[in-house]
Amino acid sequence: MKKLLIGLGVLVVLLIAAVVIIPLVVPLESYKGEIQAQAKQATGRDLRIDGPISLSLFPAIAVSVEDVGISNAPGASAPEMVTIEKLDVALQILPLIGGEVAVDRFILDRPVINLEVDADGKANWDLQTGGSAPASDGAAADSSGSESGSSAVSEIRLGEVRLIDGSLSYIDRRSGQEERVTAINMELSLPSLSAPFAAEGSAVWKEETITLSVDAENPRNLMSGEPSNLAMKVEAAPVTFSFDGAARNAGELGLQGQLGLAIPSIRGLAAWTGNPLDFPGEGLGPFNLEGVLEMMGAKVALTEAKLSIDEISGEGLFSVDGRGAKPMIKAELTVDQLNLNPYLPPEGGEAPAGAGGGATTGGSDAASDGAGGDWSDEPIDVSALGALDADLAFNAGGIQFQNVKIGQSSLAVLLKDSKLTADLAEMQLYEGSGKGRIVVDASSGKPDLAADFDLANFQAGPFLADLADFDRILGTTETRLAVTASGGSQRELVSSLAGDGAVVFKDGAIKGINLAAMMRNISVAAIDQSFDDAQQTDFAELSGTFQIDKGIVSNKDLSLVAPLVRMTGEGTIPLPPRTVDYEVKPKLVGSLEGQGGASDLAGIAVPIKVTGPWHDISYRPDLAGALTDQIKDPGALLEKVPDGDSLKDATEGGAKGLLDKLVPGSGGDGDSSPLDLKKGLFGN
């Protein structure tokens, strides 16, 4: 672009110089050929002058040229790189003696500039000529002298300076990018270098009118490195940017003042610029930002910042330091309420089978869900973590994610050398609290993950209902989780998952099932019928710990303590194949004792197998397992069935009634043979 401006400047100077030295008695039309030859030597391009040339020498040098064109580079799309319908210049003579440049008028009427980069990366504004080297040497010699070329000009005065109805096109053959700006109009005002400078203009880009205004209080200060008040504004329908403060050009451009940015729609702005956002949800609408801008070169800071995006508003400070090998971003942001739902994809389809309650006792009901999902083998790109460093602090009065509502939260994020550490120092969650840490180390090119969370005294019922539409477990809950994983894809991460955790539910209930009633009639049909929204099993405590090794979650100590019922469980949940292999053992006991009661009281236990892929889990009683150790001694089995009023309501007749339920036709007299007992149990 600099060479283009130099070329245009050379053209203008040559035009002016040529007409100044031409005797008035000689018609200017006779010298077009000489002017074109000089332009060819200076720029390497052909100069076309089809219109008339006019000259005036007093009281100012005034030159007017019409219908001018400069040829384009070989192979370019347009035949000419620049065309000008009319160039009108008037320069005062006498001020030049004192080193002053006084331009009465400089008018470019309907200029058309065609910029293009070819497939090899060569720009058409690269004017390579034999005459450029001496000019460069002259500039170097001038810079080595006592005064630079710029210091030789003591004053600049601009009168009527206008660009009328211009257009600019840009083509990049390497990327296929094409841009066109039309209806370019610009007007400048500069009475002197010590007087205010003003510029106003407009242009049309992508069918939107953009207006620009710039006001500088003292241009001389800006040229000498001293500060000057500066105001600028760029406005279009998709975006408005403004700055009002002070500027300084001391080696690096410095700005300090009030900044404003208003975007009616982030999505609309992205689409206007040709980069539509492929981002889920309905958010990314209005965005507004204001604050105090402090910039010095590549270091930018915004303090006293207030921002809003959609319905979210907050305040804080931001800074970007681009002087190092990687940009460093620092930010502190506090928002009142953060609703993430507008930025999430819409919920599609029906909930998975079993969501919100209900169980599947066979494989056919869930088969309609297909084979279920699977882990992805697509490589995970973590290169973005190495592109910059960051130190971020975030505070929110409340956060909403889908239906999950989180209270006061505090998050700190540190990104350094491709390692991201996110510390959740505070989180208010459903009458409880929590904290945690997530570490993602991408220094090896693949993510190494570590997560550690502790949640205490939160209400599981409303939390699980909001999180997964699952309302089957109630109680005050504590949970702990510590896991690590490493791998280049989702499948590799899941397969390498390792760690442990624990969960405890207190003073709660399992909704949808009555374990005591189910135990009175163990069968597939009975289990199916036992899942009923009207049923409920109250418990004093439900707890368990788990370990994870190579993606396989194992548990051996599930324990439920409730009046008349105890339940244990153990098994595995292999995450890589997305399956379940678990066994629970509900047991009827004769104690009404709840929390603090023994979990190993004598009673009848019938295991229930929970198996299958995640999308098709089945629940079946394991009667053979229940009788393995007891079939040889049915009397011992009966002794374990307590009698009395405490169990009477639950079993409709005490131990004898229970045995009659288990073994139809036995009469509950205890005289049945082991074979009859086994046959009755399996038959039912």
- Calculate mean pLDDT across residues 458-478: 86
Q: In angstroms, how far is the first alpha carbon of the chain from the final one?
A: 90
Model confidence at 624: pLDDT above 90: no
What is residue 36's predicted lDDT score, i.e. its pLDDT? 85
Model confidence at 6: pLDDT above 70: no
Percentage of residues in the chain having pLDDT higher than 90: 48
Where is mean pLDDT largest: 126-140, 195-209, 535-549?
195-209
Question: Could you tell me which residue, 275 or 654, shows the higher pLDDT?
Answer: 275
How confident is the model over 282-334, as pLDDT tens digits?
Answer: 889 999 999 999 999 899 999 999 999 998 999 999 999 998 888 999 999 99
How confident is the model over 470-508, as pLDDT tens digits?
Answer: 777 899 999 999 999 999 999 999 999 999 999 999 999
User: Rounded to two decimals, what is the model's pTM?
Assistant: 0.69
User: Is residue 584 exposed (0-12), middle (13-18) or buried (19+ Cβ within 10 Å)?
Assistant: buried
DSSP for 482-525, written as a single string? EEEEE-SBHHHHHHT-EEEEEEEEEEEEEET--HHHHHTS-SHH
Residue 90 CB partners (closer than 8 Å, separation 6+): 56, 60, 61, 62, 63, 103, 104, 105, 106, 159
Question: Could you tell me which residue, 353 or 11, shows the higher pLDDT?
Answer: 11
**Residue length, the chain?**
684
Contact predicate 407/433, CB 8 Å: no
What is residue 566's predicted lDDT score, i.e. its pLDDT? 85
Task: Say which range, 24-28, 241-245, 377-381, has the weakest mean pLDDT.
Answer: 24-28
Amino acid at residue number 463? F
Give the start-end residues of each E strand in 79-129: 80-92, 100-109, 112-117
Question: Could you tell me which residue, 108 or 364, shows the higher pLDDT?
Answer: 108
Pairing state between β 299-309 and 112-117: unpaired
What is residue 225's predicted lDDT score, i.e. its pLDDT? 87
Tell me the three state secondary structure of residue 639.
helix
Contact predicate 154/99, CB 8 Å: yes
What is residue 44's predicted lDDT score, i.e. its pLDDT? 86
How confident is the model over 241-253, as pLDDT tens digits?
Answer: 999 999 998 888 8
Domain ranges of the chain: 1-144+154-192, 219-346
Question: Taking CA 640 as the corner, what is the angle to CA 638 and CA 642, rounded to the nearest 5 degrees?
Answer: 90
What is the average pLDDT value for the chain, to the nearest integer?
A: 80
Backbone CA torsion sign across 149, 150, 153, 159: positive
- Structure-token pair, residue 239: 């975006």
Contact predicate 114/70, CB 8 Å: no
What is residue 37's predicted lDDT score, i.e. its pLDDT? 86
